[in-house]
């Protein structure tokens, strides 16, 4: 069985487009196709993904595991472990490893919670 050649009829809506317009249409469709994947990635995470992020930031595997657990216990895992560490580091004016280790010691959770609740906390606070 041979497939019917219907290319001419299927391309009629594109026939009058210039090369630049075709390229623009291609990228619009490409973005539309991947948008659900981007939204899924932005709205969903897992402890293993967040541990992987922290490992890439330089934490050892024990620190990454414990920090992800602490972030999860604080109800902040959906914000992203790297983001939580970044917020603390920015607040304290230190690097991410130092900030993450301070979070592991129980410091700074009020700062992080305030940030994500949109309240902000003045720089220099220790808790």
DSSP designation for 117: T
Q: Does domain 47-116 have CATH number 3.30.1540.10?
A: no
**124 has pLDDT over 70:** no
State how far the Cα of 116 lies from the Cα of 120, in Å rounded to an integer. Answer: 8
Q: What residues does each domain of the chain span?
A: 7-43, 47-116
Q: 60-118, pLDDT tens digit by residue? A: 999 999 999 999 999 999 899 999 999 999 999 999 999 999 999 999 999 999 999 98
Q: Nearest 5°: phi and psi at 125?
A: -65, 145
């Amino acid at each position: 069985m041979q497939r019917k050649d219907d290319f001419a009829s299927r391309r009629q809506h594109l026939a009058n487009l210039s090369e630049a317009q075709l390229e623009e249409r291609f990228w619009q469709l490409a973005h539309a196709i991947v948008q659900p994947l981007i939204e899924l990635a932005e709205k969903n995470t897992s402890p293993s993904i967040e541990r992987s992020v922290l490992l890439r930031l330089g934490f050892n595997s024990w620190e990454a595991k414990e920090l992800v657990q602490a972030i999860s216990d604080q109800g902040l895992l959906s914000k992203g472990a790297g983001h939580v560490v970044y917020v603390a580091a920015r607040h304290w004016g230190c690097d991410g490893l130092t900030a993450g280790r301070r979070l592991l010691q129980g410091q700074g959770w009020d700062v992080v919670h305030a940030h994500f609740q949109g309240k902000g906390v003045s720089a220099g606070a220790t808790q």
